[in-house]
Every structure is written in C-alpha cells, then in structure tokens.
Amino acid sequence: MSPEKFSSGNTVTLLHCGAEFFPALLTQIEEAKNEIFLETYVFATDEAAIYVLNALKSAALRGVVVNLITDWIGTGPKQNAMLSESLKLTKVNHRIFNRWFLRGVARTHRKVCVIDGKVAFVGGININHDLSSEHGPESLQSNRWDFSVMVRGPVVNLIHREAEIQWRRISPLPRGKRTHLSTKRISGRSVFAMGSSLVAFLICDNFHNRLTIQKEYLKAINAATSYVLLANPYFAPGRTFRDALTAAAVRGVDVKLLLGTGQYQFQDWVARSYYRKLLASGVTLVEYKKTQLHAKVAVIDDLWVTVGSSNCDGLSLFVNHEANLVIQDHTLASALAYCIRQGILDGVAVDPREFMVLPWYKRMLYGMAFLLYRAAMRLITLNQPWN
C-alpha cells in the first residue's frame, strides 16, 4: 500500500440499532447546509421513515441539495411510486435503482448517507423502524438487531465521491456516458489511518469491484490467530469463504457465527446444508431467534472490524451493490465484540450431535436447497466462479 493513500484524522462511532442510528442521522440532516446523498435498499412508510422523509424535505426547503436513491425491489414498486409522488412538489431529488431489471439483476443493497461531504453513515440499517418487519405487515416482538457507523474525516471524501458517481450513474443519461462514469468509480479498497488505526471503505458491485468485500474477509480470516466473531442474517457464502472459516477453526482459532433465522425458510435450509462440515471443524454456530438479525458485522482478533450492508451470500458478495467499512481499532473492536457476544447469549447454540445424525429426509432437504441455490447463483452470475 503506497504511503500517499494514508491520512489521519478519521473518527468512527458505532451505532447499535435504529434507537442510536436514527437520532444521529436526523441530527446531521437537520444541521446540513449544502448537500445530502442518501442511498438505501428499503425506505418504508413507518414512523421512523416519516421522520427521515420530513427531515429531507425540510433540508431541501432551506436550500440543501438532497439526492435520494431507493432500490426498486427493496423499497417496492408501489412504495417507490408513492415516494416519488410525495416528493414531486418538494425539492428532494429522487431516483430509483434498476426499475424492471432493465440493467440486469443487481440491486443497490447499500445503506449510505453523506452529508456536506463531512460526515457519513455506512452500515446495514435501512430507513425503517426497528419493530417493522421487512417481510410482512406484522410487527416484531423485539427491536431488529443491526448496526451502522458514523464517520468523519478524510475517508468521507471517498464515500462522498462514490455517492456522487452512483447518483450520476443511474441518471437518465445515454448508455455510453453512464459507462464512462462507471469506469471512474473509486477503487474497491481505499485505506486511511485513523490516528493509530486504519479505515477502509469497500464497495462491491457486479462490474468493476466484484468480490472486493469477500477478499477483505478472507484476508482477515486467514490471518486470524485468536478469534473470529461473525454475525450475518443470510449465510450462504461460496466454498472459498466456508473453507477459510473451517481452516481457522482447525488451526485453533475460536470461530463463532451468529446467524439470523426464520426470515426465509429456503435460506435457512441452504445455511443448514453447511452446518455439518462447519461444526465438525470446530466452528460454533448460534441461531438468533429473539428477533430479526439484520446485522452484517464481524470482529477478528480484537482489532479488525467490518460493518456494512454485505451479507455473506452470493448475491451480496458477487452481484449487488454493497458498501462496508473495515476498521482496525481496538476500542471499536472491543465494543462490537461485546455486542456480538451478547447476541450469542441471546441465541440458540446449534448442537453438533444433532447434525451428525440428521434424518435422511432433512439431509435431502438441505442438500436439495443447496443445489437449487448453487444453480440459481450460476445462472445469475453467468457461471462465473462466484465461490
């Protein structure tokens, strides 16, 4: 890494769940003076979303340039249409990512906000209330378990630049000009010093930065000597990622995975098709059933931290537009590791003996789910080596 890519002066604040994220976000929106970029997969209609929408409208009324990107699938065609309609008489600029799959299957799954080029939010929290289910009208029993980070300093320049490029990239420009903008995207990995720590802004997409986030995960897991704590709701990585986890456990690293369950039954079956080998290698698996686990976070060896939007599955690691921060900081690692360990205590540990003697019909069910998932991924990725 060349020295000129380093800069000091960044600060990072961990935000646990919407109860910490939304007050921080709303405060920054209300203090905005020049410009706001907000990109999200889900922009709901609940109380939290209304607060954010009203704050964006107020900022636009006082002269702030407000650019909002929502995903066509994540937010939903109907809600996107309603959102656009409600913004017609305001000065908030709204663009919808990849309507009708006209630009392929990729979604923008990123949750990024940049304000005045000085402060940014990167994480897994959508614009929806902690108690609003993302998969139906029912309310959750407990707050959704998720994280974001608020960052200040030189790294925000990169996040801001990527936000600008994404905004122009999905503009109604001729295809040639859009392609030209795509070639000017930032590199997938840009690193800065944060005092005595390092911060990396990682983007992943299906054009220039495939596997960027996975490569950073693999580098950290392969170098782990003490422990790996990983929390993820949709666990379906390729063989390379799974092999890195099992190899770490075999060499004595304490590998614990906190996995979300109960949102998509097919996804649970795919994840469970991996359990037997992971458990046999010494990986600890814990299923989180208290509420929706939506966090995409990991801590390795009291130093390496990632917080972002990328699930550990083929869609996030190879197809969709994702954004993660990787931070090397002992204090932040300690804080996030504590939260993950609390989540593990609230979860249900998977008994290795259960998966060593699974009934034949469950083995067949999980195996068929894996084969269908693998076939779908090969089709989506045009048989590229996503794993």
Does the annotation mark 135 as catalytic?
no
The residue annotated as part of the active site, out of 296, 313, 321, 329, is: 296
The residue annotated as part of the active site, out of 71, 205, 301, 329, is: 301
The residue annotated as part of the active site, out of 16, 46, 116, 362, is: 116
The residue annotated as part of the active site, out of 94, 111, 129, 321, is: 111
Does the annotation mark 160 as catalytic?
no
Does the annotation mark 296 as catalytic?
yes
Does the annotation mark 180 as catalytic?
no
31 alpha-carbon distance from chain centroid: 26
171 alpha-carbon distance from chain centroid: 24
Does the annotation mark 109 as catalytic?
yes
Residues serving a catalytic function are: 109, 111, 116, 294, 296, 301
